[in-house]
């Protein structure tokens, strides 16, 4: 009965019926369109959020100890000792670098359960003068022994004897041994694992699940006039060291002429214009030790949008974009083999502390296809990747997590 009444009412006013049906279809269609739009938008929210980033993470490396000293501490006997036993301490320092290490100070503080035997300190087998007190932990400040300069490729062996006045089975660190120098002011502990060089660290970071690429980046500033052709530049020069593989990942680096070639250099557009050079010409780079480097120009590049290259890594101006117009780019190997040693020679030969040493870092890209569409979930994923990067790098610098 009710159905027949409804049907009759629909037929009585067909225009009203038609408009009602059209309104229902329109409302349903609009609701579906909104749902599809929201669903599609949420599915791409993560990708849209990270799209502007050319580099997702940057592992900024701390400067390695100058001189490349291998510092080894050995104890004889190495195990637990009883009261009255004698322990011989052997300290070996090998300069594996190419420059001397100056004002090398060695400090070796024994545990309170071990007492220095007066007159037992030696250097390369010969007794040290005035060694009635432990020369490696002298006075109330426990000051170390300054052994002077250790030439490149040479070794020095220091030693002294201790007498146990208590059982040492429970002592976790019988000797706290470190060295420091004029070039490496921060003390370096004995038997420390050698830091990975940038190439080795990049390879390890590249193996982390979720990392799409890991590329070396280095840079250093030179004074005005360091870059020259027919005339020298009139302002600060920034020297970059990275390879073509880095350039391919950083979309903000725009090559306007030529290309990137190992053993050659690319110039910023401003430097090229000031020096009136183009691809195929030659420029000269003056290094701080007085040496000069002649480089063929393989390309001209626009760096005005390269935030990853010019964002400050220093505290007061951290992440501030500080553009330096005069820039030159060489490959990573050339930077490591020619530019970095020039700064090391300055520090070793002139007795000067380099105020702005070369900075090394590893530029990292996250595999964005692995990231969840939901930003909150993607954030947890990138934070996990960042934690793995930090764990792999250890104490070699700090991580800038741009993507999280």
d(CA 87, CA 169): 13
pLDDT at residue number 170: 56
Which domains can be identified in the chain, with CATH numbers? 57-64+195-401 (no CATH), 69-189 (2.60.40.2260)
d(CA 398, CA 20): 65
Q: Pick the closest to residue 115 from 92, 86, 138, 154 (CA basis).
A: 86
Mean pLDDT across the chain = 87
pLDDT at residue number 373: 81
Residue 296 has pLDDT above 60, yes or no: yes
Mean pLDDT of 382-390: 94
Residue 81 has pLDDT above 90, yes or no: no
Mean pLDDT of 244-249: 94
Residue 9 has pLDDT above 80, yes or no: no
Note the pLDDT tens digit of each residue in 179-191.
Answer: 998 877 788 899 9
Mean pLDDT of 107-115: 91
Q: Pick the closest to residue 67 from 367, 345, 379 (CA basis).
A: 345
Look up the pTM and report it: 0.74
pLDDT at residue number 48: 66
d(CA 211, CA 208): 6
Q: Is 13 helix (H, G, I), strand (E, B) or coil?
A: coil
The conformation of residue 369, written as its DSSP 8-state character, comes to: G
pLDDT at residue number 313: 72
pLDDT at residue number 130: 85
Beta-carbon contacts of 8 under 8 Å, excluding residues fewer than 6 positions away, are: none
């Amino acid at each position: 009965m009710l159905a027949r009444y409804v049907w009759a009412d629909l037929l009585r006013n067909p225009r009203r019926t038609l408009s009602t049906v059209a309104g229902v279809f329109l409302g349903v269609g609009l609701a579906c369109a909104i749902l599809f739009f929201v669903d599609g938008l949420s599915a791409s929210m993560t990708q849209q959020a990270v799209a502007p980033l050319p580099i997702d993470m940057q592992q900024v490396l701390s400067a390695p100890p100058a001189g490349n000293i291998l510092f080894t501490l050995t104890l004889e006997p190495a195990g637990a000792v009883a009261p009255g036993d004698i322990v011989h301490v052997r300290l070996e320092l090998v300069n594996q670098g190419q420059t001397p290490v100056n004002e090398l100070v060695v400090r070796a503080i024994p545990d309170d359960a071990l007492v220095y035997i007066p007159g037992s300190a030696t250097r390369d087998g010969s007794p040290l003068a005035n060694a009635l007190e432990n020369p490696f932990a002298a006075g109330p400040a426990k000051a170390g022994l300054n052994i002077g300069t250790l030439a490149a490729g040479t070794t020095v062996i220091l030693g002294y004897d201790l007498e146990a006045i208590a059982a040492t089975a429970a002592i976790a660190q019988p000797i706290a041994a470190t060295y420091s120098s004029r070039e490496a002011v921060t003390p370096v502990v004995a038997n420390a694992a050698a830091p990975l060089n940038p190439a080795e660290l990049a390879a390890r970071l590249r193996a982390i699940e979720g990392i799409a690429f890991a590329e070396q980046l280095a840079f250093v500033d030179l004074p005005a006039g360091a870059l020259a052709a027919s005339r020298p530049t009139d302002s600060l020069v920034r020297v970059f060291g990275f390879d073509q593989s880095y350039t391919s990942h950083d979309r903000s680096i725009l090559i306007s002429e030529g290309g990137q070639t190992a053993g050659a250099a690319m110039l910023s557009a401003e430097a090229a214009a000031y020096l009136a050079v183009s691809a195929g010409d030659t420029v000269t780079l003056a290094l701080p030790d007085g040496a000069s480097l002649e480089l063929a120009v393989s390309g001209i590049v626009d760096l005005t949008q390269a935030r990853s290259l010019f964002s400050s890594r220093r505290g007061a101006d951290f992440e501030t974009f500080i553009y330096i117009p005069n820039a030159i780019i060489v490959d990573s190997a050339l930077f490591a083999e020619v530019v970095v040693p020039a700064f090391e020679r300055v520090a070793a030969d002139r007795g000067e502390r380099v105020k702005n040493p070369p900075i090394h870092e590893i530029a990292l890209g996250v595999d964005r296809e692995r990231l969840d569409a939901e930003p909150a979930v993607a954030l947890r994923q990138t934070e996990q990747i960042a934690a793995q990067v930090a764990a792999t790098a250890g104490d070699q610098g700090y991580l800038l997590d741009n993507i999280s």
